[in-house]
Amino acid sequence: MKFFVDTANIDDIRDLASTGLLDGVTTNPSLVAKSGKQFIPLIEEICSVVSGPVSAEVAATDYETMMKEGRKLAKIAKNIAVKVPLTPAGLKVCKNLSDDGTIVNVTLCFSPAQAILAAKAGAAFISPFVGRLDDIAQDGMQLIADIVQIYENYPQWDTEVLVASVRHPMHIVDSAKMGAHVVTCPPDVIKKLYSHPLTDKGLTAFVEDWKKTGQSIL
Ligand code: E4P
């Protein structure tokens, strides 16, 4: 399973990249607005830190402008994944950019039917938003199970399931059980994966007992 971080905060990205566990980055217009930075230089900087796919989302919603924006974003670096919305125009952009060899991430997916369309349009990634479905009392993880099952029936589709709108560690664990290819998580959720009270308790005891031996390894 690949780990992407869902943020436009360059300090968090650098911090997580230093762990060696980070496979990519996703951004969206809301995260860019929150960063307060200029979009293009920010994406350039992220691409200089992370070699895996970096999702940069188009801002327009009409086909012609999205195509122009997508082509411009794709030129920033080889690892840019142009992010387009799951609309008829967005999928048309997806098909054309994918045919030209650009990595495309189709975002705002909320149904298996939409995920089928994205795969047929040649998306490299489909981003189903689990947390936003949970928020309206629908089962976000069931959507992941459905998409994984459907995609397994069609090995000729190269689209990876990129679980998005992740809110807590169990979204990640359940995604892994289901065989989703990628999760994109806010930095605080990735950090929560490390935590277990028995790890802290056990380490405290080992440190104390080692002191009692009076020895040093170095
Ligand atoms: C995915 O690429 C999106 O940026 C993101 O996961 C949306 O998550 P949210 O529902 O927490 O805004």
* Residue 115 belongs to some domain of the structure: yes
Distance between CA atoms of residues 62 and 93, nearest Å: 9
pLDDT at 14: 98
Percent of the chain with pLDDT over 70: 100
Domain range for residue 155? Answer: 2-213
Query: Which portions of the chain are predicted below pLDDT 50?
Result: none
* Residue 118 belongs to some domain of the structure: yes
Query: CATH number of the domain that 29 lies in?
Result: 3.20.20.70
* Residue 7 belongs to some domain of the structure: yes
* Residue 100 belongs to some domain of the structure: yes
pLDDT at 76: 98
pLDDT tens sequence across 63-93: 999 999 999 999 999 999 999 999 999 999 9
Find tokens 């149904």 and name the residue: 111
Residue 1 CA to ligand 1 centre (angstroms): 18
* Residue 63 belongs to some domain of the structure: yes
- Residue ranges of the alpha helices (H) in 18-139? 29-35, 39-49, 63-74, 88-99, 112-120, 130-135
pLDDT at 6: 98
Residue 132 CA to ligand 1 centre (angstroms): 8
pLDDT at 205: 98
* Residue 12 belongs to some domain of the structure: yes
165 dihedral zone (left: phi>0; alpha: psi -120 to 50; beta): left
- Ligand 1 atom closest to residue 26's alpha carbon, by position in its atom list: 2
* Residue 218 belongs to some domain of the structure: no
Catalytic residues: 83
Total-model pTM: 0.96
